[in-house]
């Protein structure tokens, strides 16, 4: 299992809805941004994979909203990657406020598809993600 990776954020006013809290859909942007930063830190290059005919895709998302973020809140998004079988890549992610309050627990499942739309994990990818 790989080590936990974290990205720090601060809520921007425009990410909030009329109730004054972060809109539910924005949390998925936070999660995705953290996954992309994790992949970059692990040497996974999206344009290079695409040029090779490999597309990383999300196939399932489980989001457990526990509390709300408000404008100006500082928080981090963690990423821990593990394999589920031979073709499913699972990103276990938490959004946690700077004071330690857990805001969201998420489990994002993805895979890699070839040009025919069939699952194909490229050689070396698993080692970069969970090694």
79, 80, 74, 77: which is closest to 95 by C-alpha? Answer: 77
| 17 is annotated as an active-site residue | yes
Q: Pick the catalytic residue: 17, 45, 64, 114?
A: 17
Question: Which residues form the catalytic set?
Answer: 17
């Amino acid at each position: 299992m790989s080590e936990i990776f974290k990205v720090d954020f601060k809520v921007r006013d425009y990410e909030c809805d009329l109730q004054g809290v972060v809109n539910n859909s924005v949390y998925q942007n936070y999660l995705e941004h953290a996954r992309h930063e994790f992949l970059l830190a692990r040497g996974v290059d999206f344009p290079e994979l695409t040029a090779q005919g490999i597309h990383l895709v999300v196939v399932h998302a489980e989001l457990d909203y526990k509390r709300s973020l408000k404008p100006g809140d500082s928080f981090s998004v963690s990423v821990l990657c593990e394999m589920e079988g031979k073709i499913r890549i699972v990103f276990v992610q938490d959004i946690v406020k700077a004071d330690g309050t857990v805001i969201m627990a998420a489990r994002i499942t993805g895979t890699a598809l070839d040009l025919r739309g069939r699952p194909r994990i490229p050689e070396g990818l698993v080692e970069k993600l969970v090694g």
